[in-house]
Amino acid sequence: MNREDQLARFTGDVELVDEALRVFLQTIPERLNALRQALAAKDHQAAGLVAHTLRGTALNLSCATLAHEAKTLEQACSDHHPDLQESLLRVEREAERLRMFAEESSRSASS
């Protein structure tokens, strides 16, 4: 997560960046659940769409690593790659890392 880039994208509005990130982090569990369900149903198109949405939002919030992992999953869905679960696991790990980083940053800012 690149804080300087986030602020540039949001014209320096720290509160807006923090609110957008908070909302994004709140939606991630729902999106991950939708990915799991789509993959379990072998609905590659639905999973690819969710991954695409996750990637786009992550890019807008300068969360490049999560965006990269979501893009990889999106492409794997498009290609009907047999290792979709591994791609999903990488997205889940990065989402958790991002959540923990944001939590720590929030605690540090309020201290």
Q: Any idea what the CATH number is for the domain that residue 100 is in?
A: 1.20.120.160
**72 dihedral zone (left: phi>0; alpha: psi -120 to 50; beta):** alpha
Domain interval for residue 12: 3-105
**pLDDT tens over the chain, length 111 residues:** 777 888 788 778 888 888 888 899 999 999 999 999 999 999 999 999 999 999 999 998 889 999 999 999 999 999 988 889 999 999 999 999 988 887 787 676 665
Q: CB count, 10 Å around CB of 29?
A: 12
* Residue 26 resides in a domain: yes
* Residue 110 resides in a domain: no
Q: What total of structural domains would you count in the chain?
A: 1
* Residue 111 resides in a domain: no
